[in-house]
């Protein structure tokens, strides 16, 4: 990592670990321990705490706080005002141990969705706007609602998938069920 990134004059960037080509916009604050990859876009009014790792090519839209214990994979999209939590039982005067959220590569989270801590959002999963996610979300799945529930399998290109054991998306990617509630891209 290096210092060749854009920082709006009103942004506070304390971390020396911000990747090349990343843009950090107005009134955002990045604490010293945060790690942000290359070619990210951190929108206006964001706050990023110390124990945070953000991969390459991530889009963080406006007004999002990313708390200690959150890991975001490459090419993730966080829509405006997404809420990420890190404490299941918050109190003002009680010490807490942050619970982690892991958001894997290519996942997309719609505007105003709330993600409860202690969960993993799988690769290329898509969370509908306004959803409340209270449990793990499988890779290549579309979920939405309050609480968010499984709607369908989707391709990395976002087309819905329909199959028993194997299928091919119109974009040419192939998928196979791998047991339980999971699928895997095979080509």
Give the number of domains in the chain.
1
187 falls within a domain = no
184 falls within a domain = no
47 falls within a domain = yes
Q: How far apart are CA 175 and CA 60, in angstroms?
A: 29
The enclosing domain of 67 has a CATH number of 2.160.10.10
Residues 107-115: what's their mean pLDDT?
98
Q: Tens digits of per-residue pLDDT, 59-92?
A: 999 999 999 999 999 999 999 999 999 999 888 8
**Greater pLDDT, 90 or 181:** 90
Q: How far apart are CA 83 and CA 11, in angstroms?
A: 20
Rounded to the nearest integer, the mean pLDDT of the chain is 95
Burial of 30 (0-12, 13-18, 19+ CB in 10 A): buried
Domain carrying residue 131: 6-162
- pTM of structure: 0.95
Supply the DSSP symbol for 36.
Answer: E
Q: How far is CA 78 from the centre of its chain?
A: 6
Q: How far apart are CA 87 and CA 168, in angstroms?
A: 40
Residues 40-44: what's their mean pLDDT?
98
178 falls within a domain = no
């Amino acid at each position: 990592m290096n210092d060749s990134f854009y920082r709006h004059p009103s942004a506070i960037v304390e971390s020396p670990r911000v990747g090349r080509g990343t843009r950090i916009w107005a009134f955002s604050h990045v604490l010293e321990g945060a790690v942000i990859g290359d070619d990210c876009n951190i929108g206006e009014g964001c706050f990023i705490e110390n124990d945070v790792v953000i991969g390459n090519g991530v889009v963080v839209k406006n007004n999002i706080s990313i708390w200690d214990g959150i890991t975001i994979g490459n090419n993730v999209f966080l829509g405006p005002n997404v809420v990420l939590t890190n404490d299941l039982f918050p109190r003002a005067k009680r010490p807490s141990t942050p619970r982690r959220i892991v958001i894997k590569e290519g996942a997309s989270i719609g505007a105003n969705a709330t993600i409860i801590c202690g969960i993993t959002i799988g690769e290329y999963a898509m969370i509908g706007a306004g959803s409340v996610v209270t449990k793990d979300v499988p890779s290549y799945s579309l979920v939405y609602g309050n609480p968010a529930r499984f709607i369908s399998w989707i391709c990395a290109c976002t087309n819905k998938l329909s199959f028993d054991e194997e299928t091919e998306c119109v974009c040419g990617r192939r998928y196979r069920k791998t047991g339980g509630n999971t699928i895997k891209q095979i080509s």
